[in-house]
Amino acid sequence: MTGCVFCEIAGGDRPADVVLDEPEFVAFLDVRPVFPGHTLLVPRLHLETLEDLPSSLAGPLATTVRRLATAVRVATAAQGTFVAINNTVSQSVPHLHVHVVPRTKGDGLRGFFWPRTGYASDAQREQIRSGIASALPDP
């Protein structure tokens, strides 16, 4: 869709730190992460909310989220992950996307207040991006 940031990333027309590039989905590091390794998974097809997701993509989305959650946890040495989808409210880009956020006990994240951070350097961002991409289990 013209003017959609996530469609531009999925189409290769906008740069992003891509960790997964597959026919139906693309995943990349969030530019304003809650914690380093915070990754967004988007369908290539422009869909605004979860309700718009065709049934044929529901299973593949869940499988891909599961793979991505594993990779984020492994690559960031986190104890677990937080997985979330916003529908319209709090959805900064009107394109369906799944947040996969690395979590560690005592990391300070409480409720739905998500303080945003950044990466210490481009090198740190690239190290985490390549770590997630390398840790992705096979489909």
Domain boundaries of the chain, sorted by first residue: 5-135
Whole-model pTM: value is 0.85
Residue 97 is a catalytic residue: yes
Q: Which fold has domain 5-135?
A: HIT family, subunit A (3.30.428)
pLDDT for 7-35, tens place per residue?
999 999 999 999 999 999 999 999 999 99
List C-alpha distances in Å: 74 to 70, 112, 130: 6, 24, 12
Active-site annotation holder among 38, 46, 95, 97: 97
Give the pLDDT band of residue 114 (cuts 50, 70, 90).
low
SS3 128: helix
